[in-house]
Amino acid sequence: MRIPRMLLCACLSSVLAPAHAATEHRLVATEGIRWAGNYRQARAAALRLHRLLLLDMETDWCSWCRVMDDDVYPAPPVAKKLRQGYLCVRENAESDSDGVVLQRKFRITTYPATIIVEPEGELYITIYGYRDADQLLSEIESATEQLRELSGLENRVGAGMATTEGREKLAEAFADRGFYDKAAKVYLALLQDPRVNLPPEVLFRAAVSLASAGDGQNALAAIGDLEKNFPDSEAVPEGEALQGEILWHEGDAIRARLVLKQWLEKYPGNPLADHVRSVLAKVGQTQ
């Protein structure tokens, strides 16, 4: 059903109104772009209107953020693109309480950070640093295309219509963004599918996601499959080190200590050796 233009404008005006007066100076319209100051409200609106979100994360000290405000977002091609296809949100990663939460949620490490977000599952792609108008448009379009592909893939996985490669790709996309519960669900389905033979690197990624999601037993099972089926793989030392950490976090300090000591005997020159020693020291403190 097509939404009448006047009604649509009214909806956007109410949803995208500034969250409070203190942020008014940051949220004024820029060439017709209305910046929201509340991510949750903007996300709800994006779901209703079937749009992507553009989240602009800034800080008070970020000089390039100001340059983008002054020179890039007001550029007519950029403003037109954002008005037509996105709901735009601006948050300060340090002075806004919501911004602090979003900085952690989206793993922001530097600024400016322009994040394109698919609102339903909150899959996202981050564009780091200053971009001029042409660069920003190109990268926004690329991110949008990738997110639409991932969103379609998520729907196919949910409907049981995705290939093994597609399921692996979606699980990796979730894990890369820290959505370990979602990644673990996809990986576990792959592990339990008798038709699927996962390569060693995927078995290791599955173990990491399962462990990060709190499913230590299935993570240990994935590591067992890795050791059994690919004993010569470069992923085995990483898997065995992870095994020791999982056992420790599962409360089995005795087995964890044994596994980690054996690991150091087997792989003394491995780049992970210092990390394993530090974990072993912590395990010793808990015994």
pLDDT at residue 8, rounded to an integer: 34
* 183 and 275, same domain (yes or no): yes
* 213 and 128, same domain (yes or no): no
Q: What is the pLDDT of residues 190-235, one digit of tens each?
A: 999 999 999 999 999 999 999 999 999 999 999 999 999 999 999 9
pLDDT at residue 31, rounded to an integer: 60
Q: What angle do CA 87, 92, 97 make, to 5 degrees?
A: 100
Q: What is the CATH number of the domain that holds 140?
A: 3.40.30.10
Say how far apart CA 247 and CA 230 lie, in whole Å: 21
Given 154, 178, 198, the domain boundary residue is 154
Asked, for residue 160, whether it belongs to a domain, the answer is no
Region 132-155: mean pLDDT is 97
Given 133, 154, 175, the domain boundary residue is 154
Within 86-215, residue ranges assigned H as helices are 97-105, 133-158, 164-176, 180-191, 200-212
* 48 and 185, same domain (yes or no): no
Structure tokens at 270: 């491995």
Q: What is the CATH number of the domain that holds 180?
A: 1.25.40.10
Q: What is the pLDDT of residues 174-201, one digit of tens each?
A: 999 999 999 999 999 999 999 999 999 9
* 34 and 92, same domain (yes or no): yes
pTM: 0.82
* 126 and 217, same domain (yes or no): no
Asked, for residue 258, whether it belongs to a domain, the answer is yes
For the chain, give the percent of residues with pLDDT over 90: 86
pLDDT at residue 285, rounded to an integer: 80
Burial of 77 (0-12, 13-18, 19+ CB in 10 A): exposed
* 142 and 188, same domain (yes or no): no
Region 147-169: mean pLDDT is 96
Indicate the SS3 state at residue 250. Answer: coil
Domain that holds residue 258: 165-286
